[in-house]
Structure 1
Protein backbone atom coordinates (compact mmCIF):
# COMPACT_ATOMS: atom_id res chain seq x y z
CA UNK A 1 0.00 0.00 0.00
CA UNK A 2 2.88 2.42 0.63
CA UNK A 3 3.49 2.65 -3.10
CA UNK A 4 0.46 4.98 -2.99
CA UNK A 5 2.70 7.70 -1.60
CA UNK A 6 4.66 7.77 -4.88
CA UNK A 7 1.66 8.10 -7.18
CA UNK A 8 0.91 11.71 -8.06
CA UNK A 9 -2.59 11.34 -9.47
CA UNK A 10 -6.05 12.06 -8.06
CA UNK A 11 -7.57 9.30 -5.99
CA UNK A 12 -10.98 8.65 -4.44
CA UNK A 13 -10.76 6.12 -1.63
CA UNK A 14 -13.68 4.00 -0.43
CA UNK A 15 -13.39 2.27 2.96
CA UNK A 16 -15.66 0.05 5.01
CA UNK A 17 -14.61 1.20 8.47
CA UNK A 18 -12.82 3.89 10.43
CA UNK A 19 -9.91 1.58 11.31
CA UNK A 20 -8.99 1.16 7.65
CA UNK A 21 -9.36 4.89 7.04
CA UNK A 22 -6.93 5.56 9.89
CA UNK A 23 -4.51 2.96 8.48
CA UNK A 24 -4.59 4.58 5.06
CA UNK A 25 -3.96 8.01 6.52
CA UNK A 26 -0.73 6.76 8.08
CA UNK A 27 0.82 6.26 4.64
CA UNK A 28 3.33 9.12 4.20
CA UNK A 29 2.14 11.76 1.78
CA UNK A 30 -0.74 9.54 0.68
CA UNK A 31 -3.36 12.20 1.17
CA UNK A 32 -2.51 15.49 -0.56
CA UNK A 33 -5.74 17.43 -0.18
CA UNK A 34 -5.99 18.37 -3.83
CA UNK A 35 -5.59 14.75 -5.00
CA UNK A 36 -7.50 12.67 -2.46
CA UNK A 37 -11.11 12.10 -1.53
CA UNK A 38 -12.21 9.55 1.09
CA UNK A 39 -15.66 7.97 1.20
CA UNK A 40 -16.99 5.37 3.61
CA UNK A 41 -19.05 2.58 2.06
CA UNK A 42 -21.10 -0.29 3.45
CA UNK A 43 -21.10 -3.63 1.66
CA UNK A 44 -24.76 -3.96 2.67
CA UNK A 45 -25.53 -1.13 0.24
CA UNK A 46 -23.57 -2.54 -2.69
CA UNK A 47 -25.13 -4.34 -5.65
CA UNK A 48 -22.21 -6.79 -5.72
CA UNK A 49 -22.71 -7.99 -2.15
CA UNK A 50 -26.44 -8.42 -2.69
CA UNK A 51 -25.34 -11.33 -4.89
CA UNK A 52 -23.39 -12.96 -2.06
CA UNK A 53 -25.93 -15.61 -1.01
CA UNK A 54 -26.73 -16.80 -4.52
CA UNK A 55 -23.00 -16.94 -5.35
CA UNK A 56 -22.41 -18.97 -2.16
CA UNK A 57 -25.17 -21.36 -3.22
CA UNK A 58 -23.53 -21.78 -6.64
CA UNK A 59 -20.15 -22.54 -5.09
CA UNK A 60 -21.58 -25.15 -2.69
CA UNK A 61 -23.26 -27.17 -5.43
CA UNK A 62 -22.12 -30.81 -5.49
CA UNK A 63 -19.18 -31.28 -7.86
CA UNK A 64 -18.85 -27.55 -8.58
CA UNK A 65 -15.06 -27.23 -9.22
CA UNK A 66 -12.99 -25.59 -6.48
CA UNK A 67 -10.47 -22.94 -7.53
CA UNK A 68 -9.42 -20.98 -4.47
CA UNK A 69 -10.54 -18.27 -3.90
CA UNK A 70 -12.46 -17.78 -7.17
CA UNK A 71 -15.05 -20.54 -6.73
CA UNK A 72 -14.65 -21.07 -2.98
CA UNK A 73 -14.98 -17.68 -1.26
CA UNK A 74 -18.18 -15.86 -2.30
CA UNK A 75 -16.94 -12.60 -0.77
CA UNK A 76 -13.95 -12.67 -3.12
CA UNK A 77 -16.25 -12.91 -6.11
CA UNK A 78 -18.34 -10.05 -4.70
CA UNK A 79 -15.27 -7.85 -4.32
CA UNK A 80 -14.31 -8.49 -7.94
CA UNK A 81 -17.77 -7.33 -9.02
CA UNK A 82 -17.81 -4.41 -6.58
CA UNK A 83 -14.84 -2.75 -8.26
CA UNK A 84 -17.02 -2.17 -11.33
CA UNK A 85 -19.79 -0.70 -9.24
CA UNK A 86 -17.41 1.67 -7.46
CA UNK A 87 -15.68 2.70 -10.68
CA UNK A 88 -19.16 3.50 -11.97
CA UNK A 89 -19.83 5.70 -8.95
CA UNK A 90 -16.58 7.59 -9.45
CA UNK A 91 -17.28 7.99 -13.17
CA UNK A 92 -20.73 9.42 -12.49
CA UNK A 93 -19.57 11.82 -9.78
CA UNK A 94 -16.40 12.81 -11.68
CA UNK A 95 -15.11 14.80 -8.73
CA UNK A 96 -11.77 15.50 -10.42
CA UNK A 97 -13.24 16.35 -13.84
CA UNK A 98 -11.26 13.66 -15.66
CA UNK A 99 -11.77 12.30 -19.17
CA UNK A 100 -10.63 8.77 -18.45
CA UNK A 101 -11.23 6.27 -15.70
CA UNK A 102 -9.58 2.92 -14.92
CA UNK A 103 -9.55 0.05 -12.48
CA UNK A 104 -6.14 -0.89 -11.14
CA UNK A 105 -5.03 -3.67 -8.78
CA UNK A 106 -2.35 -2.22 -6.50
CA UNK A 107 -0.68 -5.64 -6.59
CA UNK A 108 0.60 -4.70 -10.05
CA UNK A 109 3.18 -2.60 -8.22
CA UNK A 110 4.26 -5.41 -5.88
CA UNK A 111 7.81 -5.48 -7.23
CA UNK A 112 8.32 -1.73 -6.98
CA UNK A 113 10.12 -0.20 -4.03
CA UNK A 114 8.12 1.92 -1.62
CA UNK A 115 10.98 4.39 -1.85
CA UNK A 116 11.77 6.25 -5.02
CA UNK A 117 10.66 9.06 -7.26
CA UNK A 118 7.03 10.08 -7.55
CA UNK A 119 5.32 9.21 -10.82
CA UNK A 120 2.11 9.67 -12.77
CA UNK A 121 0.45 7.32 -15.22
CA UNK A 122 -0.50 7.84 -18.87
CA UNK A 123 -2.64 6.42 -21.65
CA UNK A 124 -1.20 3.41 -23.50
CA UNK A 125 -0.15 3.63 -27.13
CA UNK A 126 -2.89 3.51 -29.79
CA UNK A 127 -5.64 3.72 -27.21
CA UNK A 128 -9.11 3.83 -28.82
CA UNK A 129 -11.52 6.18 -27.05
CA UNK A 130 -14.49 4.13 -28.25
CA UNK A 131 -13.32 0.97 -26.46
CA UNK A 132 -12.46 -0.36 -23.02
CA UNK A 133 -8.87 -1.63 -22.70
CA UNK A 134 -7.74 -4.82 -20.97
CA UNK A 135 -4.64 -7.01 -20.91
CA UNK A 136 -5.07 -10.27 -22.84
CA UNK A 137 -3.39 -13.14 -20.99
CA UNK A 138 -4.47 -16.05 -23.21
CA UNK A 139 -6.00 -16.24 -26.68
CA UNK A 140 -9.80 -16.25 -26.67
CA UNK A 141 -11.47 -19.44 -27.86
CA UNK A 142 -14.76 -18.26 -29.34
CA UNK A 143 -16.19 -21.79 -29.29
CA UNK A 144 -15.74 -22.20 -25.53
CA UNK A 145 -19.08 -22.58 -23.73
CA UNK A 146 -19.95 -20.10 -20.99
CA UNK A 147 -20.57 -22.91 -18.50
CA UNK A 148 -17.08 -24.27 -19.14
CA UNK A 149 -15.52 -20.82 -18.68
CA UNK A 150 -17.08 -20.40 -15.23
CA UNK A 151 -16.74 -23.95 -13.95
CA UNK A 152 -13.10 -24.27 -14.92
CA UNK A 153 -12.06 -20.71 -14.06
CA UNK A 154 -10.69 -20.04 -17.57
CA UNK A 155 -9.15 -16.65 -18.30
CA UNK A 156 -8.95 -14.54 -21.42
CA UNK A 157 -8.42 -11.08 -19.95
CA UNK A 158 -6.77 -9.80 -16.80
CA UNK A 159 -9.33 -8.03 -14.62
CA UNK A 160 -6.69 -6.27 -12.53
CA UNK A 161 -6.52 -3.29 -14.88
CA UNK A 162 -9.02 -1.81 -17.33
CA UNK A 163 -9.34 1.65 -18.82
CA UNK A 164 -11.89 3.67 -20.78
CA UNK A 165 -13.13 7.12 -21.59
CA UNK A 166 -15.45 8.11 -18.75
CA UNK A 167 -18.64 7.96 -20.85
CA UNK A 168 -17.58 4.62 -22.35
CA UNK A 169 -16.80 3.22 -18.89
CA UNK A 170 -20.28 4.19 -17.75
CA UNK A 171 -21.85 2.14 -20.56
CA UNK A 172 -19.39 -0.71 -20.11
CA UNK A 173 -20.09 -1.12 -16.40
CA UNK A 174 -23.84 -1.17 -17.03
CA UNK A 175 -23.28 -3.98 -19.53
CA UNK A 176 -21.00 -5.84 -17.12
CA UNK A 177 -23.49 -5.62 -14.25
CA UNK A 178 -26.36 -6.81 -16.45
CA UNK A 179 -24.28 -9.77 -17.64
CA UNK A 180 -23.28 -10.68 -14.08
CA UNK A 181 -26.91 -10.65 -12.94
CA UNK A 182 -27.80 -12.90 -15.88
CA UNK A 183 -25.03 -15.41 -15.21
CA UNK A 184 -25.78 -15.83 -11.50
CA UNK A 185 -29.41 -16.51 -12.37
CA UNK A 186 -28.16 -19.25 -14.69
CA UNK A 187 -26.19 -20.67 -11.72
CA UNK A 188 -22.78 -19.78 -13.14
CA UNK A 189 -20.16 -17.72 -11.33
CA UNK A 190 -16.45 -17.40 -10.68
CA UNK A 191 -14.64 -14.02 -10.77
CA UNK A 192 -15.00 -10.97 -12.99
CA UNK A 193 -12.49 -12.44 -15.45
CA UNK A 194 -14.86 -15.28 -16.31
CA UNK A 195 -17.74 -12.83 -16.67
CA UNK A 196 -15.66 -10.90 -19.21
CA UNK A 197 -14.87 -14.05 -21.18
CA UNK A 198 -18.47 -15.25 -21.16
CA UNK A 199 -19.73 -11.82 -22.25
CA UNK A 200 -17.75 -12.19 -25.48
CA UNK A 201 -18.56 -15.84 -26.22
CA UNK A 202 -21.64 -17.56 -27.59
CA UNK A 203 -24.55 -16.39 -29.70
CA UNK A 204 -25.92 -14.08 -27.01
CA UNK A 205 -23.60 -11.09 -26.72
CA UNK A 206 -23.79 -8.98 -23.59
CA UNK A 207 -21.95 -5.84 -24.63
CA UNK A 208 -22.04 -3.12 -27.24
CA UNK A 209 -18.81 -1.56 -26.02
CA UNK A 210 -15.87 -3.23 -27.77
CA UNK A 211 -12.79 -4.46 -25.91
CA UNK A 212 -9.30 -3.33 -26.93
CA UNK A 213 -6.68 -5.85 -25.85
CA UNK A 214 -3.01 -5.32 -25.06
CA UNK A 215 -0.51 -8.18 -25.00
CA UNK A 216 2.80 -8.46 -23.19
CA UNK A 217 6.07 -7.73 -24.97
CA UNK A 218 8.04 -10.38 -23.11
CA UNK A 219 9.74 -7.80 -20.89
CA UNK A 220 7.06 -7.93 -18.20
CA UNK A 221 4.74 -10.51 -16.73
CA UNK A 222 1.93 -11.06 -19.26
CA UNK A 223 -0.65 -10.08 -16.63
CA UNK A 224 0.96 -6.64 -16.35
CA UNK A 225 0.99 -5.73 -20.07
CA UNK A 226 -1.48 -2.84 -20.00
CA UNK A 227 -0.14 -1.47 -16.72
CA UNK A 228 3.39 -1.72 -18.10
CA UNK A 229 2.17 0.50 -20.91
CA UNK A 230 1.54 3.02 -18.12
CA UNK A 231 -2.07 3.41 -18.99
CA UNK A 232 -3.78 5.28 -16.17
CA UNK A 233 -3.97 7.42 -13.08
CA UNK A 234 -5.36 6.29 -9.80
CA UNK A 235 -8.25 6.72 -7.42
CA UNK A 236 -8.13 4.50 -4.42
CA UNK A 237 -11.27 2.65 -3.72
CA UNK A 238 -12.85 0.42 -1.15
CA UNK A 239 -11.09 -1.65 1.47
CA UNK A 240 -12.76 -4.87 2.32
CA UNK A 241 -11.73 -8.25 3.66
CA UNK A 242 -9.78 -8.54 0.43
CA UNK A 243 -9.40 -4.77 0.03
CA UNK A 244 -10.44 -2.90 -3.03
CA UNK A 245 -9.07 0.36 -4.20
CA UNK A 246 -10.02 2.63 -7.10
CA UNK A 247 -8.35 5.65 -8.58
CA UNK A 248 -8.71 9.07 -10.00
CA UNK A 249 -7.81 11.05 -13.11
CA UNK A 250 -8.12 8.02 -15.15
CA UNK A 251 -9.53 5.86 -12.38
CA UNK A 252 -8.69 2.48 -10.94
CA UNK A 253 -9.69 -0.26 -8.53
CA UNK A 254 -7.12 -2.09 -6.46
CA UNK A 255 -7.26 -5.32 -4.46
CA UNK A 256 -4.75 -5.40 -1.66
CA UNK A 257 -4.10 -7.10 1.62
CA UNK A 258 -2.67 -5.27 4.57
CA UNK A 259 0.90 -6.39 5.24
Structure 2
Protein backbone atom coordinates (compact mmCIF):
# COMPACT_ATOMS: atom_id res chain seq x y z
CA UNK A 1 0.00 0.00 0.00
CA UNK A 2 1.29 3.45 -0.86
CA UNK A 3 2.34 5.60 2.09
CA UNK A 4 0.75 8.91 1.15
CA UNK A 5 2.76 10.94 3.59
CA UNK A 6 6.22 9.66 2.76
CA UNK A 7 6.95 8.09 -0.59
CA UNK A 8 10.71 7.73 -0.93
CA UNK A 9 12.15 5.93 -3.97
CA UNK A 10 14.98 3.59 -3.04
CA UNK A 11 14.68 -0.04 -4.11
CA UNK A 12 13.76 -0.71 -7.73
CA UNK A 13 10.27 -1.77 -8.72
CA UNK A 14 8.15 -1.54 -11.86
CA UNK A 15 5.61 1.28 -12.01
CA UNK A 16 3.18 2.27 -14.78
CA UNK A 17 4.26 5.10 -17.06
CA UNK A 18 1.25 7.15 -18.13
CA UNK A 19 1.51 9.01 -21.44
CA UNK A 20 -1.07 11.70 -20.76
CA UNK A 21 -1.14 12.94 -24.35
CA UNK A 22 -1.93 9.52 -25.81
CA UNK A 23 -3.80 7.96 -22.89
CA UNK A 24 -1.45 4.95 -22.93
CA UNK A 25 0.29 3.24 -20.03
CA UNK A 26 3.79 1.81 -20.19
CA UNK A 27 6.15 0.40 -17.61
CA UNK A 28 9.39 1.88 -16.35
CA UNK A 29 11.65 0.94 -13.49
CA UNK A 30 11.54 3.46 -10.63
CA UNK A 31 12.71 2.96 -7.05
CA UNK A 32 10.33 3.33 -4.12
CA UNK A 33 10.58 2.64 -0.41
CA UNK A 34 10.82 4.54 2.85
CA UNK A 35 14.46 4.37 3.94
CA UNK A 36 14.41 7.03 6.64
CA UNK A 37 12.42 5.35 9.40
CA UNK A 38 10.46 8.53 10.04
CA UNK A 39 8.47 8.93 13.23
CA UNK A 40 4.94 8.57 11.90
CA UNK A 41 3.63 9.30 15.40
CA UNK A 42 5.14 12.79 15.16
CA UNK A 43 4.59 13.52 11.45
CA UNK A 44 1.29 15.23 10.71
CA UNK A 45 -0.23 13.86 7.48
CA UNK A 46 -3.18 15.88 6.15
CA UNK A 47 -6.14 13.83 5.00
CA UNK A 48 -8.34 14.43 1.94
CA UNK A 49 -6.55 17.53 0.61
CA UNK A 50 -8.90 20.02 -1.05
CA UNK A 51 -7.72 21.99 -4.10
CA UNK A 52 -8.32 25.69 -4.69
CA UNK A 53 -11.17 25.55 -7.18
CA UNK A 54 -10.11 28.76 -8.94
CA UNK A 55 -6.89 27.22 -10.20
CA UNK A 56 -7.81 23.72 -11.41
CA UNK A 57 -5.22 22.55 -13.94
CA UNK A 58 -6.85 19.40 -15.35
CA UNK A 59 -6.84 20.59 -18.95
CA UNK A 60 -3.44 22.26 -19.06
CA UNK A 61 -0.33 20.90 -20.79
CA UNK A 62 1.03 18.01 -18.64
CA UNK A 63 4.50 19.58 -18.39
CA UNK A 64 6.29 21.46 -15.59
CA UNK A 65 6.87 25.21 -15.48
CA UNK A 66 9.76 26.16 -13.20
CA UNK A 67 9.91 29.34 -11.13
CA UNK A 68 13.27 30.65 -9.94
CA UNK A 69 14.81 33.86 -8.62
CA UNK A 70 17.96 35.69 -7.64
CA UNK A 71 17.95 38.61 -5.19
CA UNK A 72 21.04 40.52 -4.20
CA UNK A 73 22.27 39.56 -0.72
CA UNK A 74 25.95 40.40 -1.05
CA UNK A 75 28.72 38.04 -0.03
CA UNK A 76 27.79 35.73 2.85
CA UNK A 77 29.19 32.82 4.81
CA UNK A 78 27.68 29.39 4.12
CA UNK A 79 27.95 26.98 7.04
CA UNK A 80 29.67 27.48 10.35
CA UNK A 81 33.21 26.46 9.39
CA UNK A 82 33.96 29.92 7.99
CA UNK A 83 35.74 28.70 4.86
CA UNK A 84 32.80 28.76 2.40
CA UNK A 85 31.30 31.98 1.05
CA UNK A 86 28.74 32.62 -1.69
CA UNK A 87 28.36 35.80 -3.73
CA UNK A 88 26.89 36.99 -7.02
CA UNK A 89 29.64 35.29 -9.04
CA UNK A 90 28.86 31.95 -7.39
CA UNK A 91 25.29 32.05 -8.61
CA UNK A 92 26.17 33.47 -12.01
CA UNK A 93 28.42 30.44 -12.60
CA UNK A 94 25.73 27.94 -11.57
CA UNK A 95 23.10 29.83 -13.55
CA UNK A 96 24.89 29.03 -16.82
CA UNK A 97 23.28 25.59 -16.83
CA UNK A 98 19.90 27.20 -17.52
CA UNK A 99 21.11 27.49 -21.11
CA UNK A 100 20.37 23.78 -21.66
CA UNK A 101 17.26 23.59 -19.47
CA UNK A 102 14.40 23.12 -21.92
CA UNK A 103 11.39 23.57 -19.62
CA UNK A 104 9.38 26.75 -19.32
CA UNK A 105 11.12 29.07 -16.84
CA UNK A 106 9.69 32.10 -15.04
CA UNK A 107 12.45 34.03 -13.27
CA UNK A 108 12.45 37.01 -10.92
CA UNK A 109 15.39 39.21 -9.94
CA UNK A 110 16.23 42.68 -8.67
CA UNK A 111 19.34 42.89 -10.87
CA UNK A 112 18.98 43.89 -14.56
CA UNK A 113 22.31 42.17 -15.32
CA UNK A 114 20.88 38.83 -14.16
CA UNK A 115 17.83 39.39 -16.34
CA UNK A 116 20.03 40.08 -19.37
CA UNK A 117 22.29 37.10 -18.72
CA UNK A 118 19.39 34.67 -18.38
CA UNK A 119 17.84 36.00 -21.58
CA UNK A 120 21.16 35.58 -23.39
CA UNK A 121 21.71 32.08 -22.01
CA UNK A 122 18.28 30.94 -23.19
CA UNK A 123 18.09 32.92 -26.44
CA UNK A 124 18.45 29.76 -28.58
CA UNK A 125 15.35 28.20 -26.99
CA UNK A 126 11.80 29.01 -28.12
CA UNK A 127 10.96 32.52 -26.94
CA UNK A 128 7.93 31.41 -24.94
CA UNK A 129 10.16 29.15 -22.80
CA UNK A 130 11.43 32.12 -20.75
CA UNK A 131 9.87 34.94 -18.74
CA UNK A 132 12.11 37.17 -16.62
CA UNK A 133 10.69 39.88 -14.36
CA UNK A 134 12.39 42.64 -12.37
CA UNK A 135 11.10 42.80 -8.79
CA UNK A 136 12.20 45.21 -6.08
CA UNK A 137 12.85 43.53 -2.74
CA UNK A 138 10.95 46.34 -1.00
CA UNK A 139 7.80 45.38 -2.91
CA UNK A 140 7.68 41.82 -1.57
CA UNK A 141 6.03 40.38 1.52
CA UNK A 142 9.08 38.21 2.26
CA UNK A 143 11.67 40.98 2.32
CA UNK A 144 9.35 43.27 4.29
CA UNK A 145 9.97 40.86 7.17
CA UNK A 146 13.70 41.70 7.24
CA UNK A 147 13.62 44.38 10.01
CA UNK A 148 11.75 42.09 12.40
CA UNK A 149 14.02 39.13 11.53
CA UNK A 150 17.10 41.30 12.08
CA UNK A 151 15.78 42.20 15.51
CA UNK A 152 15.32 38.50 16.36
CA UNK A 153 18.81 37.59 15.12
CA UNK A 154 20.37 40.43 17.13
CA UNK A 155 19.63 38.60 20.38
CA UNK A 156 23.04 37.32 21.51
CA UNK A 157 21.42 34.13 22.82
CA UNK A 158 19.70 33.31 19.53
CA UNK A 159 21.27 30.28 17.77
CA UNK A 160 23.84 31.20 15.11
CA UNK A 161 23.77 29.10 11.94
CA UNK A 162 25.32 30.86 8.94
CA UNK A 163 23.50 32.29 7.07
CA UNK A 164 20.12 30.88 8.18
CA UNK A 165 19.92 32.69 11.53
CA UNK A 166 22.59 35.33 11.04
CA UNK A 167 21.87 37.26 7.82
CA UNK A 168 18.27 38.51 7.91
CA UNK A 169 18.05 38.70 4.12
CA UNK A 170 18.73 34.98 3.72
CA UNK A 171 15.50 33.63 5.26
CA UNK A 172 13.70 36.40 3.36
CA UNK A 173 15.16 35.00 0.12
CA UNK A 174 13.89 31.55 1.13
CA UNK A 175 10.40 32.77 2.00
CA UNK A 176 10.07 34.75 -1.21
CA UNK A 177 10.05 31.46 -3.17
CA UNK A 178 6.54 30.75 -1.94
CA UNK A 179 5.38 34.31 -2.49
CA UNK A 180 6.57 34.20 -6.11
CA UNK A 181 4.95 30.82 -6.71
CA UNK A 182 1.71 32.34 -5.43
CA UNK A 183 2.16 35.32 -7.76
CA UNK A 184 2.63 33.03 -10.77
CA UNK A 185 -0.52 31.09 -9.89
CA UNK A 186 -2.77 34.04 -9.09
CA UNK A 187 -1.67 36.00 -12.16
CA UNK A 188 -1.97 32.86 -14.33
CA UNK A 189 1.52 33.28 -15.70
CA UNK A 190 1.95 29.56 -16.45
CA UNK A 191 0.26 27.29 -19.00
CA UNK A 192 1.22 23.86 -17.62
CA UNK A 193 -0.42 21.32 -15.34
CA UNK A 194 2.54 21.26 -12.93
CA UNK A 195 4.39 24.11 -11.31
CA UNK A 196 7.73 23.88 -9.54
CA UNK A 197 10.28 25.96 -7.72
CA UNK A 198 13.94 25.45 -8.57
CA UNK A 199 16.84 27.40 -7.05
CA UNK A 200 18.84 29.51 -9.50
CA UNK A 201 21.95 27.61 -8.35
CA UNK A 202 20.42 24.13 -8.49
CA UNK A 203 22.27 22.87 -11.59
CA UNK A 204 25.89 22.60 -10.48
CA UNK A 205 27.03 19.87 -12.87
CA UNK A 206 27.84 20.85 -16.44
CA UNK A 207 25.35 19.58 -19.00
CA UNK A 208 26.58 19.38 -22.57
CA UNK A 209 23.17 18.61 -24.05
CA UNK A 210 19.67 20.03 -23.88
CA UNK A 211 17.69 18.41 -21.07
CA UNK A 212 14.11 18.46 -19.86
CA UNK A 213 12.42 17.62 -16.56
CA UNK A 214 9.19 15.62 -16.45
CA UNK A 215 6.96 14.78 -13.50
CA UNK A 216 7.87 11.44 -11.80
CA UNK A 217 5.63 8.58 -12.82
CA UNK A 218 4.42 7.89 -9.28
CA UNK A 219 3.68 11.50 -8.36
CA UNK A 220 0.42 11.89 -6.44
CA UNK A 221 -1.57 14.79 -7.86
CA UNK A 222 -2.96 16.00 -4.52
CA UNK A 223 0.48 16.17 -2.87
CA UNK A 224 3.50 18.46 -3.08
CA UNK A 225 6.77 16.69 -3.89
CA UNK A 226 10.01 17.47 -2.05
CA UNK A 227 13.37 15.77 -1.74
CA UNK A 228 13.85 14.26 1.72
CA UNK A 229 17.28 14.92 3.24
CA UNK A 230 16.70 14.25 6.93
CA UNK A 231 14.82 11.86 9.19
CA UNK A 232 11.59 13.16 10.70
CA UNK A 233 12.40 12.79 14.38
CA UNK A 234 9.91 12.69 17.25
CA UNK A 235 9.53 15.34 19.90
CA UNK A 236 10.88 18.42 18.13
CA UNK A 237 9.25 21.82 18.59
CA UNK A 238 9.76 25.02 16.62
CA UNK A 239 12.41 26.13 19.11
CA UNK A 240 14.47 22.94 18.93
CA UNK A 241 14.18 22.70 15.13
CA UNK A 242 15.64 26.21 14.78
CA UNK A 243 18.12 25.81 17.63
CA UNK A 244 19.59 22.64 16.15
CA UNK A 245 19.16 23.76 12.52
CA UNK A 246 17.52 20.47 11.59
CA UNK A 247 15.62 19.77 8.40
CA UNK A 248 13.37 17.13 6.90
CA UNK A 249 13.05 18.16 3.25
CA UNK A 250 15.26 20.24 0.96
CA UNK A 251 13.90 23.55 -0.30
CA UNK A 252 15.91 23.72 -3.52
CA UNK A 253 13.15 22.16 -5.62
CA UNK A 254 9.53 21.25 -5.10
CA UNK A 255 6.71 20.50 -7.52
CA UNK A 256 2.92 20.26 -7.38
CA UNK A 257 -0.23 21.09 -9.25
CA UNK A 258 -1.14 24.78 -8.80
CA UNK A 259 -4.53 24.15 -7.19
CA UNK A 260 -2.79 22.34 -4.32
CA UNK A 261 0.42 24.36 -4.29
CA UNK A 262 -1.40 27.62 -3.61
CA UNK A 263 -3.08 26.07 -0.56
CA UNK A 264 0.34 24.93 0.69
CA UNK A 265 1.69 28.46 0.19
CA UNK A 266 -1.14 29.95 2.23
CA UNK A 267 -0.32 27.59 5.10
CA UNK A 268 3.41 28.30 4.74
CA UNK A 269 2.98 32.07 4.93
CA UNK A 270 0.67 31.73 7.92
CA UNK A 271 3.32 29.64 9.71
CA UNK A 272 6.04 32.20 8.97
CA UNK A 273 3.91 35.01 10.41
CA UNK A 274 3.15 32.90 13.50
CA UNK A 275 6.84 32.16 14.09
CA UNK A 276 7.73 35.81 13.65
CA UNK A 277 5.19 36.72 16.34
CA UNK A 278 6.86 34.20 18.66
CA UNK A 279 10.32 35.67 18.09
CA UNK A 280 11.48 32.70 15.99
CA UNK A 281 12.79 32.53 12.42
CA UNK A 282 14.97 30.50 10.09
CA UNK A 283 14.76 29.21 6.50
CA UNK A 284 12.00 27.38 4.64
CA UNK A 285 13.53 24.02 5.51
CA UNK A 286 12.97 24.64 9.19
CA UNK A 287 9.55 26.22 8.60
CA UNK A 288 8.32 23.14 6.72
CA UNK A 289 9.55 20.81 9.47
CA UNK A 290 7.66 22.98 11.96
CA UNK A 291 4.53 22.90 9.80
CA UNK A 292 4.37 19.10 9.76
CA UNK A 293 5.35 18.21 13.32
CA UNK A 294 2.47 17.30 15.61
CA UNK A 295 4.32 19.14 18.39
CA UNK A 296 3.12 22.40 16.79
CA UNK A 297 -0.35 23.55 15.80
CA UNK A 298 0.21 24.49 12.14
CA UNK A 299 -1.89 21.63 10.69
CA UNK A 300 -1.14 22.19 6.97
CA UNK A 301 -3.77 21.07 4.47
CA UNK A 302 -1.59 19.52 1.75
CA UNK A 303 0.43 16.29 2.31
CA UNK A 304 4.06 16.08 1.25
CA UNK A 305 5.31 13.29 -0.98
CA UNK A 306 9.02 12.74 -0.44
CA UNK A 307 11.68 11.32 -2.73
CA UNK A 308 15.21 10.32 -1.81
CA UNK A 309 18.33 8.87 -3.37
CA UNK A 310 19.39 5.53 -1.90
CA UNK A 311 22.55 7.14 -0.51
CA UNK A 312 20.45 9.76 1.31
CA UNK A 313 23.17 12.21 0.33
CA UNK A 314 22.18 13.75 -3.02
CA UNK A 315 20.65 17.21 -2.57
CA UNK A 316 19.83 17.37 -6.30
CA UNK A 317 18.22 13.96 -6.74
CA UNK A 318 14.68 15.18 -7.41
CA UNK A 319 15.69 16.98 -10.60
CA UNK A 320 17.78 13.97 -11.64
CA UNK A 321 14.74 11.74 -11.20
CA UNK A 322 12.63 14.13 -13.29
CA UNK A 323 15.32 14.15 -15.97
CA UNK A 324 15.50 10.35 -15.96
CA UNK A 325 11.71 10.23 -16.32
CA UNK A 326 11.93 12.51 -19.36
CA UNK A 327 14.79 10.51 -20.91
CA UNK A 328 12.80 7.28 -20.59
CA UNK A 329 9.70 8.94 -21.98
CA UNK A 330 11.72 10.44 -24.87
CA UNK A 331 13.33 7.08 -25.63
CA UNK A 332 9.93 5.39 -25.56
CA UNK A 333 8.50 7.94 -28.00
CA UNK A 334 11.45 7.40 -30.35
CA UNK A 335 11.10 3.62 -30.28
CA UNK A 336 7.34 3.88 -30.85
CA UNK A 337 7.93 6.18 -33.83
CA UNK A 338 10.46 3.79 -35.36
CA UNK A 339 8.11 0.85 -34.82
CA UNK A 340 5.31 2.67 -36.64
CA UNK A 341 7.71 3.79 -39.39
CA UNK A 342 8.99 0.29 -40.06
CA UNK A 343 5.49 -1.17 -39.94
CA UNK A 344 4.29 1.32 -42.54
CA UNK A 345 7.31 0.59 -44.75
CA UNK A 346 6.40 -3.09 -45.01
Is TM > 0.5 for Structure 1 vs Structure 2?
Answer: yes
Q: Is the 8 A contact 2:228 2:308 kept in 1?
A: yes
Where do residues 45-64 of structure 1 align in structure 2 (5 Å cutoff)? Answer: 45-64=139-158
Q: Which of the residues 209, 213, 224 maps onto 1:121?
A: 213
> How far apart, in 2, do the equivalents of 1:144 and 1:56 lie?
24
Is 1:74 the equivalent of 2:168? yes
> How far apart, in 2, do the equivalents of 1:61 and 1:155 lie?
23
Aligned residue for 2:306?
213
Aligned residue for 1:187?
279
Pair 1:29–1:22, CA change in 2 (3 A): closer
Rg comparison, structure with higher value: 2
Aligned residue for 2:179?
85
Aligned residue for 2:333?
none
1:29: how far off? 2.9
Q: Is the 8 A contact 1:70 1:191 kept in 2?
A: yes
Where do residues 1-259 of structure 1 align in structure 2 (5 Å cutoff)? Answer: 1-27=95-121, 29=123, 32-113=126-207, 116-201=208-293, 202-218=295-311, 221-230=313-322
Mean CA deviation greater in 10-19 or 139-148: 10-19
1:31: how far off? 6.0
Aligned residue for 1:255?
none
Q: Is the 8 A contact 1:25 1:31 kept in 2?
A: no
Q: Which runs of 5+ in 1 are unaligned?
A: 233-259
Aligned residue for 1:254?
none
Pair 1:55–1:34, CA change in 2 (3 A): same
1:224: how far off? 2.1
Pair 1:142–1:48, CA change in 2 (3 A): same
Structure with larger RCO (C-alpha < 8 A, sep 6+) = 1
Q: How many residues align?
A: 229
1:128: how far off? 0.6
> How far apart, in 2, do the equivalents of 1:163 and 1:41 lie?
23
1:191: how far off? 0.7
TM-score (norm 2): 0.63
> How far apart, in 1, do the equivalents of 2:108 and 2:280 lie?
28
Alignment root-mean-square deviation, CA: 1.9
Mean CA deviation greater in 44-53 or 87-96: 87-96
Aligned residue for 2:29?
none
Pair 1:231–1:179, CA change in 2 (3 A): farther
Q: Which runs of 5+ in 2 are unaligned?
A: 1-94, 325-346
Q: Is the 8 A contact 2:115 2:133 kept in 1?
A: no
